[in-house]
Structure 1
Amino acid sequence: MKTLLNSLAEPNRWNIVELLKQGPLTVGEIAEKLGLRQPQVSKHLRVLSEAGIVIVHPIANRRVYQLNPQPFQELQEWTDTYRHLWEDRFDRLDDYLKEVQKTGEEEEKL
């Protein structure tokens, strides 16, 4: 999990993942869309590949990259374990905000 999050923390890698959500792309296509040089993109793709985030398919002399859904499914499962904590805190925040709003409305009437 830590490797996944560390890999996605770099803005260019995040942008690459966002692009690949739309479908597989070659290194050149990614470089063009992001305005980066191919060596930069290749370096980022290597990190993403080592983290298991992307899968590479060599086709002739091109390398086509696509997202690997498994790490994202694992991240979803991990965050789901904390969902009840967030929901409880949001419920308390909602109650507090309603109380503040109610108090403000009562003060306006005075």
Structure 2
Amino acid sequence: MPFEHNNLASLEISELNSVYNRCAAGLVMSLSNMSLLPLELLSSGVAPVVNDGPNNRMVSDNPFIEYVPVSPRAIARRLVEVVDREDAPERSVAMSESVSTIDWKDSGDQFVAAFERAMRG
């Protein structure tokens, strides 16, 4: 990278929460299939800003996911809105609570069900 940065590629899973907790928002871009990263961010109280599209909305209907059009201006605007929220601390707690009963088994079951529906046509 041609600029100073911290390479966090070698983090242990147990270290992710402390990294996420330094953030107010996390940008998640997916033009093909939705990552589970938005759920991870929510569990840490971080607002996921996700490019809007049916491929992404079908994975989660969580009201705290900030879907945004794929436009640099719209993305920047939404990131600023999220960071500048006056109720950010309370919203962060609500985001975390919104996924507190979800586990990865649920996500796996949803994937298998969606895959089986697609295979049946």
The TM-score by the shorter chain falls in which range? 0.3 to 0.5
TM-score, normalised to structure 1, is 0.33
Rg larger in 1 or in 2? Answer: 1
Q: Name the one with the larger helix percent.
A: 1
